[in-house]
Structure 1
């Protein structure tokens, strides 16, 4: 799937949820989608968890 197709699918899901269930359901679905994307990147190896923790803690390295 291309980035455009993925964006359209995400937008459609969020739009349907917002119309059908309201604002708070929209926010909840958006948070779960972000968590799912994060877990997917960790599982595929595209995201290094240790460097992510360092960035959150404020210990970034220039190297």
Structure 2
């Protein structure tokens, strides 16, 4: 997985991330700034899921994107 594409296109990706995980705020997205670890941490905080589930959900979301 090439997460660098997400980091490099974060301004465009924020909308897609927000569509998937609507509980994330604009401030959350600014703090995440494309970093996967930050995204996973914020998702755990907002949704209360365990780390393994978050990792799988992020992988599934990434794999569903048509740009990679």
Give the shorter-chain TM-score range.
Answer: 0.3 to 0.5
Name the one with the larger helix percent: 1
* Higher Cα radius of gyration: 1
Q: Normalising by the residue count of structure 1, what TM-score does the alignment of the two structures yield?
A: 0.38
